[in-house]
A = this chain, B = another copy of it.
Amino acid sequence: MTSRAEILTAARRLIDRDGWEKLTIRRLAAELGIGATTLYHHIRDKEDLLVQLLEHHISRLQRPQLPRDPRDRIVAAATAMHDALADWPWAAEVLTTDGFVGLLDESALWMVEAIVAGADDHGCTPEQSVHVFRSIWYYTVGEILVRAHTARRLTDEKLPVFRDSFDASQVPHLAAVSKRWRALAVRDTYAEGLRAFVDGLLARAASATSDGVG
């Protein structure tokens, strides 16, 4: 008899040991010592497994104390969301869907709620608040996916990482930074970009509202 808990634990073990790419139905079944086909009595399909795994991961996250200031609260919640997913880049792939919010249970929704609430409290209309959340979500998911894929590319022995010379007559500004690009691209600037984005989103929302637009 195989339980839900056993399956999720084995899946985590498999990911931690062999990497996310190696989590397949067949390998997971082998890890559990059962036939691949037996697994289908406990999960609907592979996506169902991934959603359950993600839900389990997020549910054990401790909820941080959020700042009172709406802007800071948005930043803090977005950062928590980012950090939760940064360790689990495959989760970001699962979540690349606007409907992801509907897939998660309440234990994960507080992050979405905090961002929408922060925008509301700052004076955004409901439309604007949803827009604030979606924009931040796009930025966050993009950052995680790009960084995860880059890390894989750098650790793989596949060589063509980055051409670091450019035709100065065609792309002068790129040519000027080309030698430093690699070092700069490796820096973690998520938080910096996030703050800039939140500033811009809230400023635009405020001016749109005062203009009577929106």
Stretch at the interface among A4-12, A15-23, A33-41, A175-183: A175-183
Q: How far, in Å, is A109 (CB) from chain B's closest CB?
A: 5
A103 touches B203 (CB 8 A): no
Stretch at the interface among A24-32, A54-62, A126-134: A126-134
B195 touches A130 (CB 8 A): no
Question: Are A146 and B113 CB-contacts (below 8 A) given A135-B196, A176-B126?
Answer: no
B185 touches A153 (CB 8 A): no
Question: Are A137 and B130 CB-contacts (below 8 A) given A120-B173, A204-B199?
Answer: no
Closest to A145 in B: B96
* Residues on the B chain within 8 Å of A103, using CB: 160, 163
Closest to A142 in B: B142
Give the complex CA separation of A102 and B166 in angstroms: 9
* Residues on the B chain within 8 Å of A204, using CB: 192, 195-196, 199
A residues apposed to B, CB below 8 Å? 96-99, 101-103, 106, 109-110, 112-113, 116-117, 120, 126-127, 129-131, 134-135, 137-143, 145-150, 153, 160-164, 166-167, 170-174, 176-177, 180-181, 184-186, 189, 192-193, 195-201, 203-204
